[in-house]
Structure 1
């Protein structure tokens, strides 16, 4: 009998504090701390490690057209070496939130991710709007498809 494949990104018991403190780049640690505070405030959810490297807040259940389904954080981020990677609404982020992304500041976007070099380089009020929009989509508040 085949066993179901475990999702790579699932909540873990890894300490968020330890994970963030382990980043060798002082600026990246500071940005991650600010992002953790912003996402926690906007979601009302505690930070939880999803897999080995994503700090996620809350969760939602998704089902693709193919029938595949799973759970994911409402929003999340990972303080990678080259960029802060923000995990926001998948499928159509660029089309749906194009006006906000144009005002965000220097970034790259793709498939529900936003890549930032530094948090100080972007407009925090626009970033907050993108995060709030993602939370609304995943909670079904604004009728968006989410994922």
Structure 2
């Protein structure tokens, strides 16, 4: 089995206290709203993964190389410049209704929640959770 500690691990840090430190104030408010949304949709409490990812649920992965670890099923990070969503299984998703955003490999970037359609975001989160449930049943 491959060794080496994963960089992003679940911590015991207080999520609410972390959100109190987020700047600017609008990002802090958006972070609280996203945390509530993801908790409701996942049925899981928020946990801090590493210094800044707020994750919900967990799964265990193992690569062909033997490397393995745990990660949150869905999550987000309220960064200074934008919200970063960690959602899987959205390659065939329809992002047209979402509004202003950009995408990277496995990430969705949103400057402010006011720029997007919250119903479309909710649908993407639900799709990601279903994808994770298919790959990693609870």
Same structural fold, with TM-score higher than 0.5 when normalized by the shorter chain: yes
Q: Equivalents in 1 of 2:133, 2:105: separation in Å?
A: 19
Unaligned runs of 5+ in 2: none
Preserved CA contact (<8 Å) 1:9 1:50: yes
Task: Give the secondary structure class of the aligned counterpart of 2:122.
Answer: helix
TM-score between the two structures when normalised by the length of structure 2: 0.90
Count of residues in Structure 1 that have an aligned counterpart in Structure 2: 135
Unaligned runs of 5+ in 1: none
Q: Equivalents in 2 of 1:111, 1:65: separation in Å?
A: 20
**Greater mean deviation of Cα atoms: 42-51 or 81-90:** 81-90
Residue deviations 1:21-69 (CA, integer Å, cap 9, x gap): 0113110010000000000000000000000110000011223454433
TM-score between the two structures when normalised by the length of structure 1: 0.85
Alignment of 1:68-83 (within 5 A): 68-83=67-82
RMSD over aligned Cα atoms: 1.8
Residue in 2 aligned with 1:40?
A: 39
Alignment of 1:16-31 (within 5 A): 16-31=15-30
Tell me, yes or no, if structure 1 residue 96 matches structure 2 residue 92: yes
1:72 is displaced (CA, Å) by 1.2
